[in-house]
Amino acid sequence: MLPVVELKGVTHAYLGEREASLAVEDLNLSIGSGEFVSLVGPSGCGKTTLLSIIAGLLQPSEGEVSVYGRPIHNPSPEIGYMLQQDYLFPWRTILENALLGLELTGNLNEENRRKTVELLGDMGLAGKEDAYPSQLSGGMRQRVALVRTLATDPGLLLLDEPFSALDYQIKLQLEDLVSETLRRRGTTAILVTHDLSEAIAVSNRVILLEPNPGRIRKVFTVPESIREVPPLYARDQPGFAELFHEVWKEMEQAGSKSV
Ligand code: ADP
Ligand code: MG
């Protein structure tokens, strides 16, 4: 089967005034349909750069990127990207913000509106439809951004630390909800997270990047026994703690490259 995402020899350098910094170098990666992949690694190892490249927002200095078998040069409606800091429009209500993607892609109809209201409810935002972003907490606003990204039902979803500002309890609930929603829809997803236990609990594969330059250090495949249960229970499965320590140790070594 054709991979959904394919990167071949992707290198990206940011050009500064005095020097060029190599954010990612010679990345090769292939992600299959319906696969859930997490990107982890020390700060500055190129995670956000990589997502922006896959989203078509950033042209790499070198290499080929294709999504659904086509070279990607621009953002496309089949790719949903929730940025690390995703801003809501302050003058739009919560529901109007959540419907924005559907509106922009010309897919706003009664059924999609109803599904979006339902999704807001699933995310614990029932009754907030007519509120404005300034009336919500940071964690709530982040959940609205997540609903906005999910509402268009993209085939490929790119998430940059979507749960990082949330309370632990809510974060665990949302991991379950998002993971279940994506599994049901058959969505392919790439999640950037600094939470290793989250990465292992939700993914088929965990890709560890190292900095200076950003490269793939190691790929961990999550065993089916962990994968088949909801993220909340995955943490209790045999083998989870061992895998966590394995990734952790490797991450520490990757981190020592940055000093
Ligand atoms: P991560 O998301 O893993 O923390 P980034 O992709 O944001 O990493 O950054 C990778 C490297 O590229 C870092 O060294 C960072 O300083 C640099 N970088 C990121 N964005 C820019 C930019 N817009 N201009 C210059 N350098 C950048
Ligand atoms: Mg980042």
CB distance 142 to 192 below 8 Å: no
10-residue mean pLDDT profile of the chain (259 residues): values are 94 87 95 97 95 96 96 91 88 97 93 96 95 93 94 96 87 91 95 96 97 95 94 94 97 80
**pLDDT, position 166:** 85
For the CA of 46, the nearest atom of ligand 1: 6
CA angle 71, 184, 29 (to 5 degrees): 30
255 lines ligand 1 (CB under 6 A): no
For the CA of 209, the nearest atom of ligand 1: 3
**pLDDT, position 208:** 98
Ligand nearest the Cα atom of residue 209: 1
Give pTM, 2 decimals.
0.94
- In angstroms and rounded to an integer, the radius of gyration of the C-alpha atoms of the chain is 18
Q: Environment class of residue 56 by beta-carbon count within 10 Å: exposed (0-12), middle (13-18) or buried (19+)?
A: middle
- Domains in the chain with CATH codes: 5-78+156-257 (3.40.50.300), 89-153 (no CATH)
60 lines ligand 1 (CB under 6 A): no
Phi, psi of 28 (to 5 degrees): -125, 125
**pLDDT, position 15:** 87
